[in-house]
Amino acid sequence: MFSPDGRWMAYSSNESGHRELYVRPFPGPGGKSQISTSGGSHPVWSRDGGRLFFLTPDWRIMVVEYTAGSDSFSPGKPEVWYQRTLPFLGGNYPYDLSPDGGRFAVVMNTDAPGEQAQGPTDSVTVLLNFFDELRRAVPAGSN
């Protein structure tokens, strides 16, 4: 995943024996910085810079603040950003950050203890022409 300014690339690799998250300059030259400390994958950069999100091996969202110069990248200490686990989606991202950086779109894990499934978990429903459908379902003047 490329940083918003295109100068850095975040990626996961198992070169250490288990999957960790790294950042390196793009297109180079320069060395890599290890970001995760207990495993990491699926990086997402904040659009305004300064934060990098990723998933732990048990699918929790982590965040690490960083500073980046023209030729240096200094990550802080990773912290849990969201405690609940996200579902495995066959290698696809179960989350993404909104363009303004204020919200996440997250696929929730309905297999967590104490949660009930709210319908099928293997499909997505897209409703086109929402207001036309709403007018049909609830005609004007009905309360």
Residue 131, helix vs strand vs coil: helix
Residue 142 lies in a domain: no
Number of domains in the chain: 1
Residue 114 has pLDDT above 70, yes or no: no
Residue 143 lies in a domain: no
Torsion of CA 112, 115, 119, 125, to 10 degrees: -70
C-alpha 112/C-alpha 115 separation (Å) is 6
Residue 122 has pLDDT above 70, yes or no: no
Residue 1 lies in a domain: no
Residue 109 lies in a domain: yes
Residue 137's Cβ-side half-sphere holds a number of Cα atoms within 13 Å equal to: 6
Span 17-30, average pLDDT: 90
| Percentage of the residues of the chain whose pLDDT score is greater than 70 | 85
For residue 105, list its beta bridge partners.
Answer: 96
Residue 132 lies in a domain: yes
Domain of 26?
8-137
- Per residue in 35-89, pLDDT (tens digit) is 999 999 999 999 887 899 999 999 999 999 999 887 889 999 999 998 888 888 8
Residue 42 lies in a domain: yes
- Per residue in 1-17, pLDDT (tens digit) is 999 989 999 999 998 89
- Residue 120, preceding bond cis, omega within 30 degrees? no
Q: Phi and psi for 18 in degrees, rounded to 5? A: -145, 160
Output the pLDDT for position 111: 60
